[in-house]
Amino acid sequence: MKTINKPTELGRRGFLKTSVAAPAAASLAIGVGISPQAAWAQAAQHLSAHEMASLVKMARDIYPHDHLADTHYVTACAGFDAMAADAGKKAMFAKGVADLDAAAKARHGAADYLSIAWEGDRVKLLQAIETSAFFGKVRSTLVVSLYNQKDLWAKFGYEGSSADKGGYINRGFSDIDWLPQA
Amino acid sequence: MAKFDLNDDSIVCIVGSGAGGGTLGNELAQRGIKVVILEAGGRYETQDFINDEWESFAQLAWTDMRTTSGSWRIAKDFPNLPAWIVKAVGGSTTHWAGASLRFQEHEFKTRTTYGDLQGANLLDWPITLAELEPYYAKAELKMGVTGTNGIPRLPGNNNYKVLSAGAARLGYKEFHSGNMAINSQPRDGRGSCQQIGFCFQGCKSGAKWSTLVSEIPKGEATGNMEVRPGSMVLKIEHDASGKVTGVVYVDQQGVMQRQKARVVAVAGNSIESPRLLLNSASSKYPDGLANSSGQVGRNYMRHMTGSVYAVFEQPVHMYRGTTMAGIVRDEARHDTKRGFVGGYEMETLSLGLPFMAAFLEPGGWGRPFASAMEDYPNMAGMWLVGEDMPRATNRITLDKTAKDKHGMPVASVHFDDHANDVAMRNHAYQQGRAIYEAVGATRVFNTTPYPSTHNMGTNRMSEKARDGVVNKYGQTHDIKNLFVSDGSQFTSGAACNPTLTIVSLAIRQAETMAGMMQRREI
């Protein structure tokens, strides 16, 4: 049957596409990982670079897909900076990150949330704030802003729009070939 | 195309252009009756539809503010989106999957068949299957339902092949690719299904029946029907005698208008229709129009629903082809040995990746969720749809504080599952899992009900005026020239998808209404 590759190649194409959408995001992302020093974090208008980087780390921890480059998470989080143009939202993000950092210090002796090495330890901190408005806003935004990025759909085996390609009538709508016979 | 004057009080004014309103409008227009349809949403034609879930949602979905309460998970996960229905010309027939099934005989007699179930407000319909059968036949012909009238069934897609292979192994007998109002061959000036998928986003080939591509253009072609998009009705007005005289609405330009009418038919789906009746309260009708029984807004039903998604070792690509591509009907029977009354259907369903993320496990996150998403290409999926119990306390009321942009109170939707709904859902989850495990599923997800697509019962039919809102023709018990023409008429919800029954009732209502008008009864 016709399957959708999870192409490593597409990583580069997606990477280039994303970097057009978020100009500051791309070039440094690979070099420094998720860090306040990254150009995309430095470019934030309303959030601090540290807050921006913490949110991107949170995004990876909330929807951890190891086959996705950081750029997809940076793109998914771009909206948070825009939302923070609103003073109330800005305060919510700032306090949310500050609380996570305080918990990181108290429970793991870490400098902040970002510097906790193990995902499992960070996830425990997130679980503790799961019902907060801050976490809710971050998660409910990400579930759209991450999975609605067209250039990552193929990596999940999803082919997107179909009418423009004539539907699936000649493109494998019934090509399953591994089912056991009844 | 016809244009009628605002002061023309000889017209029938229909509020809503979906399965009920659109069909009623065309049927009346074909009989030479003048019709104005006021549709709150915009008009998007076949070529305007978008093969992109969120973009399409923004185009078509009814996202005006609504509030929720009750123990259903929707109140927590999607508190302002109780229903996933459409605000556009064609209503939710642009979004529906096309499943066109007749009710079973006992489903018109739930009080008699199921007995006096505690916490349920069961009532027999004032009509029987035998009375509706001729209209079911007309609806199937009109809509070109596959598996009827010699119309071949659609070919099964990958998702259906998984379902049917599992069903066969489990010993189920009645499964096939459905009775679908989707052309399997060119018919009625429309082409055949191209297996595009995206049935929920508006059919881009026109193969799927909707009032947008069928009833409305046919009605307009008679010169007797005018559809006004972007027209939100705020209130139905009446005279001193109590008869309705027309409606007040806000037109496409945002200007308040008054359309006079000889008859008003409400077809705004089961949340907006009772809201409109309640918002039309007056000194003569302080509890809202047609509400002497107190039943307006009550007995809200949304079907026992849920989904089962299963992961296999190898790819399925369930999203290729028709969204609802097949059905297992063996559990639709009434058989209390299973621990509940009524029955349910199992129908294939798929979501694209963006909606899968939103609906597979609302609120879910972390590795378990992410790994499920990575299994997407290897998933098969089914929707469980069964009869839920009408309850007086499951109801649409006017929100005490929230108002829409016109200053009218918004609808508040309260819902608690009946114990019967829960027992049926658990059984359905178990059987859905068994189907998939029979063909090698490695991981199975029980997905909670989506925002309601089948909304029913809030202006129900009853023989006696004290038990419901409308009579067997959808005419309100209280006001003879006020009708209800959508699924809110349903006295009970049955196991199957509601659209065929809404269309059948609308055909029947048009016939009756035309006779009443001719005899000057209304």
Distance (Å) of CA B398 to CA A50, B63, B404, B483? 45, 17, 11, 21
As a whole number of angstroms, the distance between CA A114 and CA A34 comes to 8
Q: State phi, psi for B453 to the nearest 5 degrees.
A: -100, -30
Predicted pLDDT at A26: 46
Q: How confident is the model at residue A29 (pLDDT cuts 50, 70, 90)?
A: very low
Q: How confident is the model at residue B482 (pLDDT cuts 50, 70, 90)?
A: very high
A161, A165, A176: best to mutate for the B interface, most B CBs within 10 A: A176
Whether residue B90 is predicted with pLDDT greater than 70 in this model: the reply is: yes
Whether residue B57 is predicted with pLDDT greater than 80 in this model: the reply is: yes
Nearest residue, CB atoms, A157 vs list B198, B315, B370: B315
The H or E element containing residue B403 is strand B395-403
User: Does the beta-carbon distance from A156 to B376 stay under 8 Å?
Assistant: yes
Predicted pLDDT at A140: 97
Whether residue A20 is predicted with pLDDT greater than 80 in this model: the reply is: no
Whether residue A18 is predicted with pLDDT greater than 50 in this model: the reply is: no
The H or E element containing residue A114 is none
Predicted pLDDT at A3: 82
Distance (Å) of CA B349 to CA B19, B68, B229, B252, B341? 21, 26, 31, 35, 25
Q: What would the two tokens of residue B336 be?
A: 């209390």
| B373 contact residues in A (CB cutoff 8 A) | 63, 65, 147, 156
| A166 contact residues in B (CB cutoff 8 A) | 194
Residue with tokens 């064609």: B90
Whether residue A25 is predicted with pLDDT greater than 90 in this model: the reply is: no
Whether residue A10 is predicted with pLDDT greater than 60 in this model: the reply is: no
User: Does the beta-carbon distance from B353 to A147 stay under 8 Å?
Assistant: yes
| B51 contact residues in A (CB cutoff 8 A) | 160-164
Predicted pLDDT at A28: 44
| B77 contact residues in A (CB cutoff 8 A) | none
pLDDT digits over B144-159, tens only?
A: 999 999 999 999 999 9
| B353 contact residues in A (CB cutoff 8 A) | 147, 153, 156, 158
Q: What amino acid is encoded at B520 in this protein?
A: R
Min distance A174 CA to chain B CA atoms (Å): 4
Q: How confident is the model at residue A14 (pLDDT cuts 50, 70, 90)?
A: very low
Q: How confident is the model at residue A181 (pLDDT cuts 50, 70, 90)?
A: confident
| A153 contact residues in B (CB cutoff 8 A) | 353
Query: Per-residue pLDDT averaged across A121-147, rounded?
Result: 98
Report the range of poorest mean pLDDT among A6-15, A24-33, B179-188, B245-254.
A6-15
Predicted pLDDT at B118: 97
Predicted pLDDT at A16: 43
Which of B309, B238, B269, B168 has the alpha carbon at shortest distance from B9?
Answer: B238
Whether residue B509 is predicted with pLDDT greater than 50 in this model: the reply is: yes
Predicted pLDDT at A5: 58
Q: Is the model more confident about B235 or about A1?
A: B235
Which of A149, A176, A156 has the alpha carbon at shortest distance from A5?
Answer: A156
As a whole number of angstroms, the distance between CA B237 and CA B256 comes to 14
pLDDT digits over B161-171, tens only?
A: 999 999 999 99
Whether residue B448 is predicted with pLDDT greater than 70 in this model: the reply is: yes
Q: Side by side, which strands form the sheet with B395-403?
A: B67-69, B409-414, B395-403
Q: How confident is the model at residue A30 (pLDDT cuts 50, 70, 90)?
A: low
Domain positions in chain A are 35-165
Query: Per-residue pLDDT averaged across A136-148, rounded?
Result: 98
Q: Is this complex scored with an ipTM above 0.85? A: yes
3-state secondary structure of B211: coil
Taking residue A103's Cβ as centre, other Cβ atoms within 10 Å add up to 19
Contact B176, B152 (CB under 8 A): no
User: Does the beta-carbon distance from B194 to A167 stay under 8 Å?
Assistant: yes
Predicted pLDDT at B381: 98
Q: Could you give the percent of chain B with pLDDT greater than 70?
A: 100
Whether residue B275 is predicted with pLDDT greater than 60 in this model: the reply is: yes
Predicted pLDDT at A180: 85
Query: Per-residue pLDDT averaged across A39-57, rounded?
Result: 97
Query: Per-residue pLDDT averaged across B86-92, rounded?
Result: 98
Buried b (16+ CB within 10 A) or exposed e, B167-179: bbbbebeebbbbb
Predicted pLDDT at A24: 45
Whether residue B392 is predicted with pLDDT greater than 90 in this model: the reply is: yes
pLDDT digits over B397-428, tens only?
A: 999 999 999 999 999 999 999 999 999 999 99
As a whole number of angstroms, the distance between CA B63 and CA B84 comes to 9
Contact B445, B360 (CB under 8 A): yes
Report helix angle B19-30 to B499-518, nearest 10.
40
Q: Which residue of B has its CA nearest to A157?
A: B377
User: Does the beta-carbon distance from B357 to A157 stay under 8 Å?
Assistant: no
Average pLDDT, rounded, for chain B: 98
Would you say the pTM of this structure is higher than 0.90?
yes
B231 alpha-carbon distance from chain centroid: 21
**Measured over all CA atoms, what is the biggest interatomic distance in chain B, rounded to whole angstroms?**
70
B55, B196, B439: best to mutate for the A interface, most A CBs within 10 A: B196
Query: Per-residue pLDDT averaged across B278-305, rounded?
Result: 98
Average pLDDT, rounded, for chain A: 89
B353 touches chain A (CB under 8 A): yes
